[in-house]
Amino acid sequence: MANINEFINTAKELADLAGKKAGEAVEVSKLKINNAKINGEIQKTYEKLGAFVYKFRKSGEENSELIDMCVKEIDELLAVLEENEKKINETRHKVKCSDCGALNDIQAVYCMKCGGKLQREADDLYVEMYVDAVPTENIGVQQCDDEAKQEEANEEKSETEPERPSCDC
Ligand SMILES: [Zn+2]
C-alpha cells in the first residue's frame, strides 16, 4: 500500500495547483481524474478491510492494529477526496478574467478587479464532459494494455513467418 501516500501527495499537489490556477478547466479535469483514482483506492482498502475482518473472525484472532490501519487509510483518502471536491466546486463556480486573471463569481459580467468584460469559454463544459466519459478502470493501465498488444503483434509476426522451402536435392 505504498501507493496511498503517492496518491495523497499527488492529490494535494493538484489541489494546490488548482488553487493557484483556479478557473482553468484543465485543473478540474486533473482533480477529477485524481478523484477517480482515489475512489478506486478507497474501494481496494474497503475490500482489504473486509478480508481482514473475515479472516480474524474465522480464526478467532485479534488484530485491531491492522483494522485500525485500514480505517485510517480510508479516512485519509476520504479527506483528500473531500478537499478535491471542494477545489473542483470552487474552480467550477468561478470565471477567470482573461485580462488580469482575477477570479470572479460565475454570474459576474465585469471583472471586479480590473473592470474588463468577462468571457465564458465553452471549453470548460467540453473538458468536463470529456473527463466524465473516461472509464475509471482504464486509468493507469493504458500502458500495460499497449505493451500486451505489442507483444501479441510480435508473436503473430513470428508465427506467420514463411518457412524456407527445403531443398530436395
Ligand atoms: Zn480583470
Question: Is 70 in contact with 47 (CB distance < 8 Å)?
Answer: no
- pLDDT confidence tier of residue 28, bands split at 50, 70 and 90: confident
Distance 120 CA to ligand 1 centre (A): 13
* Residue 140 CB neighbours (<10 A): 12
Distance 97 CA to ligand 1 centre (A): 5
Of residues 92 and 56, which shows the higher confidence score?
A: 56
What is residue 133's predicted lDDT score, i.e. its pLDDT? 46
Distance 98 CA to ligand 1 centre (A): 7
Could you write out the DSSP letters of every residue in 126-140?
Answer: HHHHHHHTS-GGGTT
Distance 96 CA to ligand 1 centre (A): 8
Distance 101 CA to ligand 1 centre (A): 6
Grid coordinates given for 164:
524456407
* 117-134 pLDDT per residue, tens: 987 654 444 444 444 444
Of residues 145 and 105, which shows the higher confidence score?
A: 105
**Secondary structure class of 83 (helix, strand, coil):** helix
Distance 32 CA to ligand 1 centre (A): 27
Of residues 43 and 138, which shows the higher confidence score?
A: 43
State mean pLDDT over 57-84: 93
Distance 110 CA to ligand 1 centre (A): 8
Whether pTM > 0.75 for this model: the answer is no
Q: Residue 46 is inside which H or E element, if any?
A: helix 25-59
* 133-159 pLDDT per residue, tens: 445 454 444 444 555 555 555 555 555
What is residue 138's predicted lDDT score, i.e. its pLDDT? 47
What is residue 59's predicted lDDT score, i.e. its pLDDT? 93
- Measured CA to CA, the distance from residue 39 to residue 33 in angstroms comes to 10
Distance 21 CA to ligand 1 centre (A): 14
